[in-house]
Chains A and B, each alone.
Chain A
Amino acid sequence: MDNVLTEALMRALAVGTPLLLACLGAILNERAGVVNLGAEGLMAVGALAAFAVAASSPDANLWLAVGASMLAGAALALLHAAATITLRANQFVSGLALALIGTGAAGLLGKRFEGLPLFNKVADLSLGGFTISPFTVAALLLAGAMAFWLGATRPGLALRSVGENPAAADVLGVNVGLIRVLAVLGGGALAGLAGAFLSLSYRSSWADNMTAGQGWIAVALVIFVGWRPLRAIAGALFFGFLYYLQFRLQGNSPVPTEVFSAMPFVLVLVVLALAGVRGQAGNAPAALGRAYVRGER
Chain B
Amino acid sequence: MTHSSDLSGSPSAAAGAPPALRLRGITKRFPGVVANDAVDLTVHAGEVLALLGENGAGKSTLISILYGLYQPDDGTVELDGRAVRIGSPAQALRLGIGLVPQHPLLVSRHSVAENLALGGAGGLFPARRVAGRVRELSARYGLEVNPESRVSDLSPGEKQRVEIVRALLGGARVLILDEPTSVLTPQEAAGLFHVMRELKADGRSLIFISHKLDEVLAVADRVTVLRRGKVVGGVPTLGATRESLAQLMVGRSVDFTRKRAGGPGAEAGALLSVSHLSAQGSRGLPALRGVSFELRRGEVLGVAGIAGNGQSELVEVLAGLHAATGTVTLDGQPLSGDAAGRFRSGVAHIPEDRIHSGTVPSMTVAENLALRDFARPPLARGLARDLGATDERARREVEAYAVATPDIHTPTRLLSGGNIQKLILARELAGQPKLILAVHPTYGLDVGATDQVHRVLLERTQEGAGVLLVSEDLDELLSLSDRVAVMVGGSLLGPFAVSGVTRESLGLLMGGAHPHSVPGAEQGSAGVGA
Q: Which residues of A approach B to under 8 Å, CB–CB?
A: 152-155, 157-158, 160-161, 164-165, 167-174, 286, 295
Any A CB within 8 A of the CB of B93: yes
Closest 6 CB pairs of A and B: A173-B90, A172-B119, A171-B89, A164-B107, A168-B105, A165-B107
Is B256 an interface residue when CB atoms closer than 8 A count as contact? no
- B123: Cβ under 8 A from any A Cβ: yes
Answer whether residue B140 sits at the interface, using C-beta atoms and an 8 A cutoff: no
Let me know if B131 is at the binding interface, CB within 8 A.
no
> Residue B127 at the A interface, CB < 8 A?
yes
- CB atoms of A173 and B88 under 8 A apart: yes
Which of chain A's residues have a CB closer than 8 A to the CB of B122? 154
Min Cβ gap A182→B in Å is: 16
Contact of A157 (CB < 8 Å), options: B91, B106, B118? B118
Taking a contact as CB atoms under 8 Å apart, the answer to whether B110 and A164 are in contact is yes
Q: Which residues of B contact A286 (CB under 8 A)?
A: 107-109
Which residue on B lies nearest to A286, using beta carbons?
B109
30 of the cross-chain contacts (CB-CB < 8 Å) are A152-B124, A153-B126, A154-B123, A154-B124, A154-B126, A155-B123, A157-B110, A160-B107, A161-B110, A161-B118, A164-B107, A164-B108, A164-B110, A165-B106, A165-B107, A165-B108, A167-B105, A168-B106, A168-B107, A168-B115, A169-B119, A171-B105, A172-B93, A172-B118, A172-B119, A173-B88, A173-B89, A174-B119, A286-B108, A286-B109
Most chain A beta-carbon contacts within 10 A, residue among B89, B118, B127: B118
In the complex the two chains form, is B124's CB within 8 Å of A153's CB? yes
Residue B117 interfacial (CB < 8 Å): yes
Q: A168-B118, A172-B93 are in contact. List 11 more A-B contacts (CB 8 A).
A: A153-B123, A157-B114, A157-B118, A157-B126, A161-B107, A161-B110, A161-B114, A164-B109, A168-B106, A169-B119, A171-B89
Task: Considering the complex, give the chain A residue whose CB is closest to the CB of B356.
Answer: A297
Cβ contact within 8 Å between A172 and B107: no
A172 touches which of B90, B123, B127 (Cβ 8 Å): B90
Q: Is the CB of B117 within 8 A of A157?
A: yes
A145–chain B nearest beta-carbon distance, Å: 13
- The majority secondary structure among interface residues of chain B is loop
In the complex with contacts A152-B124, A173-B93, A295-B69 CB distance below 8 A: yes
Contact of B88 with A165 in the complex, beta carbons under 8 Å: no
Chain A residues with CB below 8 A from B114, complex form: 157, 161
A154 CA / B118 CA spacing, docked (Å): 7
Q: Within the assembled complex, what's the spacing in Å between the Cα atoms of A121 and B315?
A: 67
Residue from A152, A164, A171 within 8 A of B90 (CB atoms): A171
**In the bound complex, what is the Cα–Cα distance between A172 and B167 (angstroms)?**
10
Report chain A residues within 8 Å CB of B106: 165, 168
| B90 contact set on A, CB distance < 8 A | 171-173
Count A-B pairs with CB separation below 8 Å.
Answer: 65
Q: How far is the CB of B131 from chain A (nearest CB, A)?
A: 14
Residues of chain B whose beta carbon lies under 8 Å from any beta carbon of chain A: 69, 88-91, 93, 105-110, 114-115, 117-120, 122-127
Contacts A172-B90, A173-B89, A173-B90 given: A157-B127 contact, CB under 8 Å? yes
Bound complex: CA A170 to CA B120 (Å) = 13
Question: Which chain B residues border A168 with CB–CB below 8 Å?
Answer: 105-107, 115, 118
Identify which of A152, A158, A295 contacts B118 (C-beta below 8 A). Answer: A158
Q: Is the CB of A165 within 8 A of B127?
A: no
* Residue from the set B69, B106, B107, B109 with the largest chain A CB neighbour count within 10 Å: B107
Contact A174 B110 (CB under 8 A): no
Residues in A with CB closer than 8 Å to B89 are 170-173
Cα A170 to Cα B90 in complex, Å, equals 8
Greatest chain A CB density within 10 A among B117, B119, B125 is at: B119
Q: How far is the CA of A270 from the CA of B118 in the complex (A)?
A: 38
Q: Roughly how many angstroms separate A161 CA and B126 CA in the complex, as a whole number?
A: 13
Give every chain A residue within 8 A of B105 (Cβ-Cβ).
165, 167-168, 171
Contacts of A157 in B (CB 8 A): 110, 114, 117-118, 126-127
**Least Cβ distance of B161 to chain A in Å?**
16
Cα separation A164 to B151 with both chains bound (whole Å): 12
Q: Which residue among A153, A154, A160, A164 has the maximum number of chain B CB atoms within 10 Å of its CB?
A: A154
The answer on a CB contact under 8 Å between B110 and A160 is yes
Which residues of chain B are within 8 angstroms of A167 by Cβ–Cβ distance?
105
B64's closest neighbor in chain A, by CB? A295
In the bound complex, how far is the Cα of B30 from the Cα of A295, in angstroms? 15
Q: Which A residue sits closest to B124, measured CB to CB?
A: A153
Q: Which residue of B lies closest to A158 (CB)?
A: B118
Residues of B near A155 (CB, < 8 A) are 123
Residue of B nearest to A152 (CB): B125
Report the bound CA distance from A173 to B92 in whole Å: 10
With the chains together, A167 CA to B115 CA distance in Å?
13
Residue of A whose beta carbon sits closest to that of B119: A172
Give Cα distance in the complex from A165 to B119, angstroms: 14
Query: Which A residues are CB-close (under 8 A) to B118?
Result: 157-158, 161, 168-169, 172, 174
| CA distance in complex: A6, B117 (Å) | 45
Report the Cα distance A157→B117, complex, angstroms: 8
Give Cα A168–Cα B99 distance, bound, in whole angstroms. 12
Chain A positions within 8 Å of B107 at CB level: 160-161, 164-165, 168-169, 286
Task: Give the distance in Å from the alpha carbon of A161 to the alpha carbon of B118 in the complex.
Answer: 8
Q: How far is the CA of A155 from the CA of B114 in the complex (A)?
A: 12
| Assembly CA distance A254 to B127 (angstroms) | 58
A184 and B125 CA atoms in complex are apart in Å by 24
Instruction: Report how far A170 CA is from B105 CA in the complex, Å.
Output: 10
A171 to B115, CA, bound (A): 12
The CA of A295 and the CA of B119, in the complex, are separated in Å by 19
Give the docked Cα–Cα distance between A171 and B103 (Å).
13
Q: How far is the CA of A161 from the CA of B105 in the complex (A)?
A: 11
* Chain A: CB-nearest residue to B121: A154
- A161 proximity list for chain B (CB < 8 A): 107, 110, 114-115, 118
A261 to chain B, nearest CB (A): 39
Which residues of A lie under 8 Å from residue B110 when comparing CB positions?
A: 157, 160-161, 164
Least distance between B359 CB and chain A CB atoms (Å): 14
**Shortest beta-carbon distance, A114 to chain B, in Å?**
47
CB nearest to A170 among chain B residues: B89
Give CA–CA (A164, B123) in the complex, Å: 20
Q: Which residue of A lies closest to B109 (CB)?
A: A164
The CA-CA distance from A101 to B69 in the complex, in Å, is: 40
Query: Is the beta-carbon distance between A154 and B69 smaller than 8 angstroms?
Result: no
Closest Cβ neighbor of A295 among chain B residues: B69
Q: How far is the CA of A157 from the CA of B122 in the complex (A)?
A: 12
Give Cα A167 to B93, complex, Å.
Answer: 16
Complex formed: what's the CA distance from A171 to B117 in Å?
13
Chain A residue numbers with a CB within 8 Å of B93 are 172-173
A168 to B69, CA, bound (A): 13
Q: How far is the CA of A275 from the CA of B471 in the complex (A)?
A: 38
Q: Give the residue name and chain of the B residue nearest to A169 (CB).
A: B118
With A and B bound together, what is the CA distance between A238 and B105 in angstroms? 39
Could you tell me the distance between the alpha carbons of A286 and B110 in the complex, rounded to whole angstroms? 11
Report how far A161 CA is from B124 CA in the complex, Å.
16
Name B91's closest neighbour in chain A (CB-CB).
Answer: A173
In the complex, what's the smallest C-beta–C-beta distance from A73 to chain B, in angstroms? 27
Chain B residues within an 8 Å CB radius of A295: 69
Smallest distance from the beta carbon of A178 to chain B beta carbons, Å?
A: 14
Chain A neighbourhood of B127, CB < 8 A: 157
